[in-house]
Structure 1
Amino acid sequence: MPLVRANSFTDIDFTLRRQFKKDSFRPNQREIILAALAGHDVFVQAATSFGKSLCFQLPAVIDPGITIVVSPLLSLMMNQVEALRAAKVDARTLNGNTTMAERDYIHQDLATGHPLTRLLYVTPELCSGDFFRKKLKLLHEQKQLMRIVVDEAHCISEWGHDFRRDFKKLSWFRESFPNVPIMCLTATANNQVRQDILSTFGLDKKLGNFKMFATTAHRPNLHLEVRFTSDEANDRYDDFVTWLKGVYDRRAAADRKAELEAARERLENVPGIIYTISRDECESLAAALRTDGIGARPFHAKLSNHTKEETLARWIANEPGYDIIVATTAFGMGIDKENVRFVVHWRLPKSFEGYYQEAGRAGRDGKASYCFLYYSREDRDRICNMVTRDAPRDGSGNKQARAESLKRLVAYCEDTSGCRHTAICKYFGETQVPECDYACDWHKDPQGLKKRMSRGLASEEWISTQREEGAYDDYSYWSE
């Protein structure tokens, strides 16, 4: 090992309470943290609500030296660094938004060979450059490079839903620092992706220094539902507003002190996320909801940093008028808000993994939450064209993998024969899959689900017309 590690008598419960202000560990967190403190390589696959970040943050506080955290998303890095610094942990990030003064401080800190920084969040692109690699080599020589953490590790695999070319180059860590422990974390890895992650970093149970932790994808507190519609009917909006007002009316009726009519006007305290595809729809949908007295705000890449930061902060703080975020799919990674009561997919996501990850941002506090997806065959065709059109031409992604993931998501949406929770667990390779306790549309009303699908989807005549017009030419796998 590069360093003398924390001794076995370290009180991790005390560190949890003192540094992270948490009373107890979630299931499996303790075992993962102890494995990391013992110097093992670790692979963690766990649902969005699991609390994966604590599994490397707490060991970084206890162990001497520096932990390098590779992450693909700036919002995730910035959110976690802010939370750590509020907990009085010296955490920093190097990315395109880092100020020159902060950048200079970090470089000088690393150049000492004995940095004060405990966690440094970086992009995979930065890790590809010689300048940063030389800094890491110095830290290793001084026995200060404690651990390499790869977050969103599924990005390594060309069979993953979000492959990034520079993630492949992270194999340099194991090649250059064979005695430095590596921790890989992901929420969305099927068997093929999981094997790619393990082989890239040389993680092998046969070597005796590797621990794998794979928890179930089952989220029993989430109610999963697919709502069938047609673009011609354009009925998503009325359906959603009716549902939301019904939720609020029930809450108000349960509170004897609440005035029902005033509650209808405010429609507060039902935090949620609506995911859609385009920035224009983010804006128009949020504006329409505000017109109906619902506190909704858009969130997308073209907004100013100030607007995004203010919107996010006020939404997390549950301020009136900031109840719902209407966002493109990049929103939400690493956002620490436990009381999101619903997640709505206004449009079909581009992948099964994307759907699962986004829906999983609901109910992180373990309380009942609602996830539904509006599905139309027009939407299916539109998204399929988009995936085909946007498939990388430079070899930086696997077109077949993307098509297969979307195909499996479509099959999930159109399946009226079984539990939604079971289908998700099977997709991620679980052999012993649970059924939910009436927490999906199939369990709640299997016959009604079939009727709703037949009523809601576009007619077969419409589909036939689309075939004749060549709409299916680029994705013949739909006919398999």
Structure 2
Amino acid sequence: MAELLRTRAQVREVYPHQLELAMHVNAGEDVFCVAGTNMGKTLVLQSGPIAAQARGEKGIALMIVPTKVLVEQQADVASRRGLRARAINQDTVRNARLVGRDLFKELEHGDDIRMAVMTPSMLNESDMKTLLRRPQFINSVRWLSIDEAHLVGQEGIFKSGYLSLLNMRVRLNSSVVWVAATATATPAEAVSMALAFGFHTDSYINARYSVDR
């Protein structure tokens, strides 16, 4: 796992906490991670799909970020790490259709690992709602990862969208691995945020590393 992550991320070595959490994700355990900025949380969020792809498996990963800019940035990072990732927002969907592509069909179909990076609001768009009503699509979803997870507990324009992610606990199979990460949460806040996303008490990895600035 260490060698796989190191190679995909194109770094000299992975942090011990990245390897530890990747192993938990790979074992099918939910993870809520609090770690400082630039400590490689994105690699942890993507570790499940990366490992599964290396084993020749198939499935879908949904990655949630708060803004359109981050959607495109994180999809680009995932693509550079070898994943078939798609940035899905209003702009990319429209631009793809202008050239005859349907990003939702590209996500739905395939015998490989596919990743969709999107904001919470896109989960409630008609095309995604249609996919989330199809058993075949639901059964293909294996991971749901949430970046900037602290937004579920902060007043502001992103809170309602992040709170709505709790609905995905009902929509998706119980076998889906949930991974959330933030650099901004006290120990008590982290527990509260995890509960807001539907993490089950005592049945997820509550990981905390240095957040010194």
Task: Verify the 8 A CA contact 1:66 1:115 in the aligned structure 2.
Answer: no
Matching residue within 19, 29, 36 for 2:8: 19
Does structure 2 retain, via aligned residues, the 8 Å contact 1:16–1:23? no
Distance in 2 (CA, whole Å) between partners of 1:78 and 1:161 is: 22
- Given that 1:69 and 1:149 are in contact with CA atoms closer than 8 Å, whether structure 2 keeps it comes out as yes
Q: Which digits, 9 at most, give the CA deviation of each residue in 1:375-429, with x for residues without a partner?
A: xxxxxxxxxxxxxxxxxxxxxxxxxxxxxxxxxxxxxxxxxxxxxxxxxxxxxxx
CA contact (8 A) 1:45 1:188 kept: yes
Query: What is aligned with 1:131?
Result: 127
Instruction: Report the CA distance between 1:91 and its aligned residue.
Output: 1.1
Report percent identity of matched pairs: 23
Cα-to-partner distance string for 1:188-225 (whole Å, 9 max, x where unaligned): 1235542332222221343x3x1111112124xxxxxx
* Residue 78 of structure 2 is aligned to residue 66 of structure 1: no
* Alpha carbons 1:68, 1:119 under 8 Å: kept: yes
Contact 1:43–1:184 under 8 Å retained in 2: yes
Report the residue type matching 1:217 in the other structure.
V
Distance 2:19 2:177 in 1: 18
- Is 1:166 the counterpart of 2:166? The answer is no
Tell me the equivalent position of 1:187.
Answer: 183
Q: Contact 2:36–2:209 (CA<8 Å) still a contact in 1?
A: yes
| Matching of residues 106-125 of structure 1 within 5 Å | 106-112=103-109, 114=110, 116=112, 118-125=114-121
- Flag the 1:137–1:146 CA change in 2: closer, same or farther, 3 A: farther
Distance 1:81 1:141 in 2: 20
List per-residue Cα deviations over 1:3-35 (Å, max 9, x = no partner).
Answer: xxxxxxxxx123224322223111311111001
* Deviation string, structure 1 residues 265-315 (Cα, Å, up to 9, x no partner): xxxxxxxxxxxxxxxxxxxxxxxxxxxxxxxxxxxxxxxxxxxxxxxxxxx
Q: Quick one: which amino acid aligns to residue 127 of structure 2?
A: F
1:70-81 aligned within 5 A: 70-81=64-75
**1:83 partner letter:** V
Residues 150 and 17 of structure 1: CA distance in aligned 2, closer, same or farther (over 3 Å): closer
Deviation at 1:49, TM superposition (A): 1.5
Contact 2:63 2:117 in 1 (8 A): yes
Q: Does 1:175 align with 2:166?
A: no
> For 2:39, which of 50, 53, 56 is the aligned residue?
50
CA distance in 2, matches of 1:73, 1:193: 22
Asked if the contact 2:145/2:179 (under 8 Å) is kept, the reply is yes
TM superposition shift of 1:115: 6.2
**AA at the equivalent of 1:26:** Y
Counterpart position of 1:30: 19
Which structure would you say has the larger Rg? 1
Cα pair distance change 1:162/1:131, threshold 3 Å: closer
The alignment covers a number of residue pairs equal to: 204
- TM-score norm. by structure 2 comes to 0.83
Letter in 2 for 1:67: A
* Gap runs ≥5 in structure 2: 53-57
SS in 2 for 1:148: strand
How far residue 168 of structure 1 moved from its aligned partner, in angstroms, is 1.2
Could you list the runs of 5+ residues in structure 1 that have no partner in the other structure? 1-11, 220-480
- The 1-side partners of 2:182 and 2:125 are apart by 24
1:147 is the counterpart of 2:136:
no
Query: What displacement does 1:163 show?
Result: 4.4
Are the structure 2 counterparts of residues 21 and 99 from structure 1 closer, same or farther at C-alpha, using a change threshold of 3 Å? same
Distance in 1, Cα, partners of 2:85 & 2:44: 15
- Answer yes or no: is the 8 Å Cα contact 1:156–1:168 preserved in 2: yes
Alpha-carbon distance in structure 2 between the residues aligned to 1:20 and 1:175:
33
In structure 2, C-alpha distance between the alignment counterparts of 1:121 and 1:170, rounded to whole Å: 14
- Structure 1 residue 82: deviation in Å? 2.0
Alignment-mate amino acid for residue 103 of structure 2: I
What SS is found at the alignment partner of 1:143?
helix
Matched residue SS, 2:40: coil
Q: Note the 1:434-473 alignment, pairs <5 A.
A: none
Once the 2 structures are TM-superposed, how far is the Cα of residue 73 of structure 1 from its aligned partner? 2.0
Q: Does 1:203 align with 2:209?
A: no
Whole-Å Cα distance in 2 between the matches of residues 198 and 65 of structure 1? 24
5 Å-filtered alignment, 1:17-416, equals: 17-63=6-52, 64-102=58-96, 104-112=101-109, 114=110, 116=112, 118-138=114-134, 143-157=139-153, 159=154, 163-177=158-172, 178-191=174-187, 193-206=189-202, 208=203, 210-219=204-213
Are the structure 2 counterparts of residues 59 and 66 from structure 1 closer, same or farther at C-alpha, using a change threshold of 3 Å? same
Match of 2:55 in 1: none
Aligned-residue CA RMSD in angstroms?
2.4
Structure 2 contact 163–197 (Cα < 8 Å) conserved? no
Distance change (3 Å), C-alpha of 1:44 and 1:140: farther
Matches of 1:20 and 1:122 in 2, distance apart? 21
